[in-house]
Amino acid sequence: MFSLQKLLGKEDKFFDLLEASADEGRASVQALIKLVKSAAEARSLEDFVAARRKEKRIAAQISQMVATTFVTALEREDIEALSFALYRIPKTVEKVGERILIAPQFINGIDISRQMAMMEKSTNTLLLMIQELRRDVNPEQIFKHNDHLQAIEGEADQLVLELLRDLYSGKHEPLKAVFLKELYDLLEKVTDRCRDAGNVINHIVLKNS
């Protein structure tokens, strides 16, 4: 049975920090959902900024602990790779929020609920994977979650192709089409980031199972 906790010795703090990092990614997606549902005049990046600052502190703590804690069986690079992959999620989500605030007029009448549902599923699954590492769950269960992340990312890719086909149909004004293309790419990139983090976890489990 794989045990990341055993590999990290008594440093349960690593679990706390990695879970907190994944939870910030989930919180950033919730903030985006709230932003999109809010009236234009009430929209703000405050929640995103708070999540990013917290995530940055968490990443710094992990980096410091990796440098000062004696880790035997698990490579330090794996912990840092997972921390970095998790850090990129709220960073990318914040970029989505920034684009919406820059040109809110272009989002009117545009439905991005499918993308947000995928991002929500991805961040929830990622948090669950890290929580299950702490509980010494059978590796097959973690592999199953990772397959789910891969499937979501594939679905997101297909959705982007559908949306691009619509954008290139010529029925949208050029400036709006440029804005929406960038927005769709960023939304899809969030699921990519979650997939990347899931792949790191999968890699760690494979190496140590």
- pLDDT single digits (tens) 78-122: 888 999 999 999 999 999 999 998 988 898 888 999 999 999 999
Domain annotation covers residue 177: yes
Which tens digits make up the pLDDT trace of 153-162?
A: 999 999 999 9
State the pLDDT at residue 46.
Answer: 80
**Model-wide pTM > 0.95:** no
pLDDT at 73: 45
Query: Taking 60 as the threshold, does the pLDDT of residue 163 lie above it?
Result: yes
pLDDT of residue 72: 45
Within a domain: residue 142?
Answer: yes
Is 100 within a domain? yes
Is residue 5 pLDDT above 70, yes or no?
Answer: no
Confidence bin at 1 (pLDDT 50/70/90): very low
Residues 13-37 pLDDT 10s = 888 889 999 999 999 999 999 888 8
Asked if residue 2 is part of any domain, the answer here is no
- H or E stretch covering 186: helix 174-208
When the pLDDT of each residue in the chain is averaged and rounded to a whole number, the result is: 86
Band of pLDDT at residue 38, cut at 50, 70 and 90? confident
Give me 124's structure tokens.
């929830």
Is 170 contained in some domain?
Answer: yes
Asked if residue 3 is part of any domain, the answer here is no
Tell me whether residue 68 is in a domain: yes
Contact 199, 95 (CB under 8 A): no
Total number of domains in the chain: 1
Q: Which are the contacts of 178, defined by CB distance < 8 A and separation ≥ 6? A: none
CATH number at residue 165: 1.20.58.220
Domain assignment of residue 120, yes or no: yes
pLDDT for 123 beyond 80: yes
What is the crossing angle of helices 174-208 and 139-167, to 10°? 170
Residue-number span of the structural domain to which 148 is assigned: 10-208
